[in-house]
Chain A
């Protein structure tokens, strides 16, 4: 019992996927088993870590025993634990799905291509997981750069895995954007080190003062991270990269990878640079988010391919996250907006992974993913269409889904602080989301006499999609525990606390 309570679980969330990456690279035949086992093991380690954080508050871990400023510190507070939990849950579901998706008997094309994808999916995904976990735990901005590169390389290679022309071109574009984003971030790190001689987030937060150095660093790092998180108008690389990857990869990229760089953005804006950011800058990010919601939704209403629709929906949904920046500038509602944004990330991760997996099932069954050609697919894949519908409910934000709770908190923050524009925008975004989800469902539920020539879809693949979709809805009913976790070490003060202290802003 004491072992469970005191063991450094956060370390294992990085080491375990790394070891699994090595093993899946060396032992390819066992890779699917090893991968699923590692995803499960990671989930257990995260659960143990969450228990530690819930019991004892935020944790810090000085790697090498040096401590800041010389060494690298890891840190697990409520936010990072929630992000780890998000990756762990999605990771288990996608691993189970992928074990089936990449198996020989479910090959969509020739066997050799399928084996190739299987041989490389597993180690790449394990390194991706290590990068994600390492990133969420890092309290050191240079280490964040290293994890960003680990994440970027594996994400790009996974995006190229399908091997066809569109995937290769999309992956190339993704790689260039990713490298440019990392370099901008690295220059920001260099500037901060030059000025303050430390790369520790917490120390820097205490030191950073508004001035040319911090403004430039903030601008560069924000620009690089917006690029990596595909925030409008820097989203251009995302739809082709996410839409042309194999279904489990699309799910991972859309649900987790874009969130990772956005998570760093949150750390920068609400922690490191909290004394540097200004209201106009926050409003500017909010406007970008507004444009993303509208543009992404309109594109989703326009495109003809299902996976592309889901990818554009990601562009739109990432816009909501950016609304946090202006909303949180009002101290009275900052924590409500903060909780709403984080909860939005969780709900979107579940819903979007479910949606991509369901879309993958439909494409697998139909042999294509043209929306117009999916008439009557419900007759063959009732479970997958249900998963798509449930995920859609969360994306639209209908009660009782997780998306509803998240949007409700964001709306509450907007209305309570009198920022009606953002509130109206969110409602409009919901209507647009309903529009593009209905576009798919209308075709799916059309009764046809002559069934499509359909491939069989394994039940594992249907159930994992459905499980995630159900989770996206259930998140609305069990919000108390995650929100309690989020309170631990939150950089944004609770409204009540802020009122007492007068609030930083």
Chain B
């Protein structure tokens, strides 16, 4: 049982590191953001393993959910800006 848990921990840690690396290095930003959200969910799993259910809840809701939504909406805004390709504006307070 102990060995199984240790193995699970090791796999989880490696998956976390791998996901972080892939999320940052993914050539496609959308894919990067999706991988980052997955990374957040895996983080929540790690919090559960470390007996931190409060943090797991917060991570799933804030770290992964809301941050993911923020990232996706910023990405969509960025794509819209790119598509519309407006002339650089000097001032829009």
Contact = CB atoms under 8 A, between A and B. Distances in A.
Interface of A: 109, 112-113, 116-117, 163-165
Interface of A is mostly: helix
A116 B90 contact: no
- Which residue, of B91, B92, B93, has the highest number of chain A Cβ atoms within 10 A? B93
Contacts of B91: 109, 113, 163-164
13 contacts: A109-B91, A112-B93, A113-B91, A113-B93, A116-B93, A117-B93, A163-B91, A163-B92, A163-B93, A164-B90, A164-B91, A165-B88, A165-B90
Contacts of B88: 165
A348 B71 CA distance: 41
Q: Which 4 A-B pairs have the closest CB atoms?
A: A163-B93, A113-B93, A116-B93, A164-B91
Contacts of A164: 90-91
A120 B59 CA distance: 31
Contacts, number: 13
Interface string B53-84: 00000000000000000000000000000000
Interface string B2-39: 00000000000000000000000000000000000000
A116 B92 CA distance: 10
A109 B90 CA distance: 13
A113 B89 CA distance: 15
Contacts of A113: 91, 93
Contacts of A112: 93
Q: Which interface class (under 10, 10 to 19, 20 to 34, 35 or more) fits B?
A: under 10
Contacts of A109: 91
A489 B93 CA distance: 47
Contacts of B92: 163
Given A163-B92, A163-B93, A165-B88, 10 more contacts: A109-B91, A112-B93, A113-B91, A113-B93, A116-B93, A117-B93, A163-B91, A164-B90, A164-B91, A165-B90
Contacts of A116: 93
A249 to B, nearest CB: 14
Contacts of A163: 91-93
B77 to A, nearest CB: 15
Contacts of B90: 164-165
A231 B65 CA distance: 37
B63 to A, nearest CB: 15
Contacts of B93: 112-113, 116-117, 163
A282 to B, nearest CB: 36
A163 B53 CA distance: 42
A344 B90 CA distance: 39
Nearest to A161: B93
A116 B93 CA distance: 7
A165 B91 CA distance: 7
A239 B4 CA distance: 55
Nearest to A163: B93
A116 B88 CA distance: 21
Nearest to A165: B90
B3 to A, nearest CB: 27
B67 to A, nearest CB: 14
B91 to A, nearest CB: 6
A472 B90 CA distance: 37
B21 to A, nearest CB: 18
A217 to B, nearest CB: 22
A117 B90 CA distance: 16
A112 B93 CA distance: 8
A113 B93 CA distance: 6
B49 to A, nearest CB: 18
B92 to A, nearest CB: 7
A161 to B, nearest CB: 9
Nearest to A162: B93
A113 B91 CA distance: 9
A116 B91 CA distance: 12
A109 B91 CA distance: 11
A149 to B, nearest CB: 16
A165 B90 CA distance: 6
A109 B93 CA distance: 11
A228 B93 CA distance: 27
Contacts of A117: 93
Contacts of A165: 88, 90
A164 B90 CA distance: 6
A121 to B, nearest CB: 12
A191 to B, nearest CB: 18
A163 B92 CA distance: 7
A488 B93 CA distance: 47
A15 B29 CA distance: 42
B30 to A, nearest CB: 22
A112 B90 CA distance: 15
B35 to A, nearest CB: 21
A163 B93 CA distance: 5
A164 B93 CA distance: 8
